[in-house]
Amino acid sequence: MNAGTGDSVRVAVVGATGYAGAGCVALLQAHPTAQLVAVASQTQAGRSHAQVFPGSSCDLVLAETIEAEDCDVVITASAAGEAARQAGGWLAQGAVVIDVSADFRLRSADEFAHWYGVAHPAPELLDGAVLALPELRPKAIAAAQLLSLPGCFSTAVLLACGPAASRGLVEPEAVVDGKTGVSGAGRSALADYLFTELNESVKPYAVGGHRHQPEMEQVLGDLQGEPFAVTFVPHLVPMTRGIQVSCYLRPGPGVTLEQLRDAYREQYRDQPFVRLAETPIPSKQTSHTNLCWVSLAQQGRHFVVSAVLDNLGRGASSQAIQVLNLRFGLDPRAGLEGAAQWP
């Protein structure tokens, strides 16, 4: 498809009944240029999307698999490993693949196996995959056929730390405290996610290492030009959606807070979905949007960079649409101008 011709971009969504996939379906239905042409679910095939997902108005019938001959894009939001097993076929059929899962985030198949406990189903595709960060790596997206979204925590941390790392303003290490709502665990019914287990409680998890940590180190190392160490501890908090991260960074020699602020103003000046705040913003202010709010401060000898976003929006479905817009030369705001839902 040629950008700017006025033709619609034909999109299929695989894994369309999970939170991230259903979010993509809803956004595509309201998109002025993209056309949702197919939806798929391995567990709900044969029923319409509206019958399966609460609040959906999509009457397309869910297929078990997608054939991509009549698609320009396949957005896949399946369980780990599923996108990798099918992406080669979709690419061979000429479709662009945008993967919301973790299958193509890490460059190393060995590292994928270490963090996800299974061998990578398609290691031959890893070299051609682009980790899609619209505000930090836009040129890499424009010509890519296989695009991988960073994880929800990774998106927040990379937007919070990326400008500092890319300009060498900080030492190549960060300590990150993260909080997430329970929807980040998906539509599973495990005891840990019951109301009685979560309410009035905060729980750290993956203290020995979280799957998003190697993504953070990989990208920040690329931006900094040297290995970048991240110590990351996430916490589950009793809210439905949202992510907050506080990133503690050591300034480089002589670097001031005002220099840091200037760098972030420059990096995000023309970016509609990253906003700078004087003081930290509550996560609810990003609810159901593609926004990420970033604030900068200093405490003693550390810079403190805070970021908030919606884990299901900017951390998944709306970021997939943002990447689609950039890949096909569309208005970057297309389909993504909804206001935050407050309270």
What is the pTM for the complete model shown? 0.96
CA distance 318 to 26: 10
Instruction: Give me the torsion for CA of 133, 135, 140, 141, rounded to 10°.
Output: 70
Domain 9-150+314-327: give its CATH code.
Answer: 3.40.50.720
Q: Per-residue pLDDT tens for 71-99?
A: 999 999 998 899 999 999 999 999 999 99
Domain spanning 153-310: CATH 3.30.565.10: no
State pLDDT tens for residues 158-216: 999 999 999 999 999 999 999 999 999 888 768 888 999 999 999 999 999 999 999 99
Query: Percent of the chain at pLDDT above 70?
Result: 98
pLDDT score of 187: 81
Give the pLDDT confidence of 232-241 residue by residue, as tens digits. Answer: 999 999 999 9
Crossing angle of helices 152-166/213-224, nearest 10°? 20
pLDDT at 128 over 50: yes
Sorted by sequence, the CB contacts under 8 Å of residue 135 that are 6+ apart come out as 159, 162, 267, 268, 271, 273, 274
Pair 291, 273: CB distance under 8 Å:
yes
Q: Which of 24, 58, 71, 152 is catalytic?
A: 152
Distance of CA 315 to the CA centre of its chain: 4
Is the alpha carbon torsion for 60, 30, 288, 148 positive or negative? positive
Q: How confident is the model at residue 7 (pLDDT cuts 50, 70, 90)?
A: confident
Own/partner contacts of 138-147, CB < 8 Å, gap of 24 or more, are: 138/326, 141/323, 141/326, 141/327, 142/326, 142/327, 142/329, 144/96, 144/327, 145/91, 145/96, 145/97, 146/87, 146/91, 146/96, 146/97, 146/99, 146/104, 147/96, 147/97, 147/98, 147/99, 147/323, 147/327
What number is the average pLDDT over the span 268-272?
97
Report d(CA 29, CA 36) in Å as an integer: 7
Specify whether the CB–CB gap between 184 and 242 falls below 8 A: no
Distance from C-alpha of 28 to C-alpha of 46, rounded to nearest angstrom? 21
Angstrom CA distances, 81 to 22, 117, 127, 226, stand at 19, 11, 17, 30
Catalytic: 152?
yes
pLDDT tier for residue 1 given thresholds of 50, 70 and 90? very low
Question: What are the structural domain ranges in the chain?
Answer: 9-150+314-327, 153-310
Structure-block tokens of residue 53:
């997902």
Average pLDDT over all residues of the chain: 95
Give helix then strand counts, H and E, for the chain.
10, 14
What is the pLDDT, as a whole number, of residue 249? 98
Return the percentage of the chain with pLDDT > 90, whole number.
Answer: 93
Residues 6 or more apart whose Cβ sits within 8 Å of residue 21: 13, 14, 15, 39, 41, 75, 77, 78, 100, 317
